[in-house]
Amino acid sequence: MSKDGHVLVAGAGPVGILNALGLARAGIPVTVLERSPGVVPSPRAMVYHWSVLDGLERLGVYDAAVARGFLKQDYTYKVHKTGEEINYGLQSLEGLVRHPTNLHLGQHVLVEVALEALAAYPHAEVLWDHKLVSLTQDGDGVTVVAQAPDGPRSLRGSWLIGADGARSAVREALGIEFEGFTWPERFVATNVRYPFEAKGFSQTTMLIDDAFGAIISKIDNSGETGLWRYTYCEDASLPEEGVLERLPRFLQEVLPDQEGFELDAHSPYRMHQRAATRFRDGRVLLAGDAAHSTNPTGGLGLTSGLFDTYVLQEALAAVIKGEAEESVLDEYARERRRVFVEVASPAASNNKRLVYHSTDPARLEQDLTELRALETDHEAVVRRLMFPKSLETRSLVGAW
Ligand SMILES: Cc1cc2nc3c(=O)[nH]c(=O)nc-3n(C[C@H](O)[C@H](O)[C@H](O)COP(=O)(O)OP(=O)(O)OC[C@H]3O[C@@H](n4cnc5c(N)ncnc54)[C@H](O)[C@@H]3O)c2cc1C
């Protein structure tokens, strides 16, 4: 027999921990299994679009997250070859939405903030160094086996959320296909210190170029310059171990000089546009990168994962408490897959094309004409800035 209403979560990334937090806040006992010994600090998400901030507020972590990161409004598209800059900002959403700002902070810091909140709930636990290796399910529960420091450990819950990232062991154990493709390029995400603002950069610059395209964005206000993310793209056939040797070539081309430049961290990534063919299998639900994976241009990956989280933990808690039919979980699975496949993934591919692969001059001119309108046309700015809201699924249990 399963422990009644107990939820297991695989993965202590942002999606796993925030799902656990939502469940714990609803009084549901929850156990998170994480294969690493602690929060994974690799340089990944750092931009949280304005549209996800209401959800962080509902989960009670908005203030602490803002205190550890910062809110900002500016955006710049810059054409590397001509130096043309197009500027616009979230000021256009003031008076229209509750949070007309984006939040910037490292993804691992968001996880730390959520873990601090989770610690207030004695019925929630996180088991570090627990790698899920297999699972079985029956009519009333799920049994997982984890590799733990003392050997294999079996745990049982009524439900399992697979939030164990793009290479999800949960998804694989269920034999669910991860449909889509892998890009031929490698993204290199670097965390750097450099006086970008003193050198005239805005807090988010999308640098358009088919060789030196980059996203340059401020992560936090630490130190004299703040920590910044500089993400560029290279051919994945180049040897991965040569990334650091090739990095100066990109920087020399883009930065006015190297004075004050410091590399804090770097990580190469392969990128995908993939979605699990189904997000629910019986008592197992997939969320975040375990369910869908996108290239990160435009910051739609965790945005999608957060929108999964906001509806999933709430719907599952309602099912466990007998306040909603199980069919609401099918709705979760159907709707979140549809939004990713039809909206998030094509938009992310288009963002990648514009920033890193604008090789066709006529197409670039067409894109720039649309972008230039953002400097003078308030309605065009609002339409563009409302896009991340279209990735949201409204509460499936009518709570908001
Ligand atoms: C360079 C880069 C920049 C990005 N920037 C942004 C951005 O600005 N905005 C945005 O919205 N998105 C961004 N993304 C995407 C974002 O990082 C992901 O969407 C996000 O990490 C997904 O969170 P998750 O919790 O679903 O998965 P993950 O963060 O991958 O977490 C999964 C967790 O599961 C654990 N795990 C894995 N296997 C097992 C197992 N078998 N058992 C137990 N635990 C396991 C892992 O150790 C990990 O802790 C970026 C991605 C990259 C690569």
Domain ranges of the chain: 7-180+273-391
| CATH code for the domain defined by 7-180+273-391 | 3.50.50.60
List the residue whose alpha carbon is closest to atom 49 of ligand 1.
13
253 phi and psi angles, rounded to 5 deg: -75, -30
Beta strand pairing call for 30-33 and 7-10: parallel
What burial letters (b/e) apply to 282-302, b meaning 16+ CB within 10 Å?
ebbbbbbbbbbbbbbbbbbbb
147 lines ligand 1 (CB under 6 A): no
- Output the tens digit of pLDDT for each of the chain's 400 residues: 345 799 999 999 999 999 999 999 999 999 999 999 999 998 899 999 999 999 999 999 999 999 999 999 999 999 999 999 999 999 999 999 999 999 999 999 999 999 999 999 999 999 999 999 999 999 999 999 999 999 999 999 999 999 999 999 999 999 999 999 999 999 999 999 999 999 999 999 999 999 999 999 999 998 999 999 999 999 989 999 999 999 988 888 999 898 889 999 999 999 999 999 999 999 999 999 999 999 999 999 999 999 999 999 999 999 999 999 999 999 999 999 999 999 999 999 999 999 999 999 999 999 999 999 999 999 999 999 999 999 999 999 999 9
Q: Is 107 in the pocket of ligand 1 (CB under 6 A)?
A: yes
- Is the minimum distance from the CB of 161 to ligand 1 under 6 angstroms? no
280 membership: H or E segment, kind and range? strand 280-281
The predicted pLDDT at position 332 comes to 98
250 torsion bin: left (phi>0), alpha (psi -120 to 50), beta (else):
alpha
Distance between Cα 194 and ligand 1 center (Å) = 26
The predicted structure's pLDDT at residue 209? 96
Whether residue 144 has its Cβ less than 6 Å from ligand 1: no
Does any ligand 1 atom lie closer than 6 A to the CB of residue 22?
A: no
The pLDDT, as a whole number, for residue 1 is 37
Q: Which tokens belong to 105? A: 């902070």
- Look at the chain and count its residues: 400
- Is the shortest distance between the CB of 288 and ligand 1 below 6 Å? yes
CA of 289 to the centre of ligand 1 (A): 6
Q: What is the per-residue pLDDT for 36? A: 98
Q: Atom 2, ligand 1: which residue's CA is nearest?
A: 44
| Cβ atoms of residues 134 and 173 within 8 Å | yes
- Name the closest-CA residue to atom 6, ligand 1: 45
CA torsion 118→15→216→36, rounded to 10°?
Answer: 80
Check residue 277 and give left, alpha or beta (phi > 0: left; psi -120 to 50: alpha). Answer: alpha
Q: What is the pLDDT of residue 47?
A: 96
Q: Which atom of ligand 1 is nearest to the CA of 40?
A: 49
Tokens 């990095």 appear where? 247
Short-list 214, 278, 284, 305, CA closest to 15:
305
Long-range contacts of 210-216 (CB under 8 A, 24+ apart): 210/356, 210/357, 210/358, 210/359, 211/253, 212/80, 212/250, 212/253, 212/254, 213/80, 213/355, 213/356, 213/357, 213/358, 214/250, 214/254, 214/355, 215/297, 215/355, 216/254
Cα of 52 to ligand 1 centre, how many Å?
16
- The rounded Å distance from CA 208 to ligand 1 centre is 26
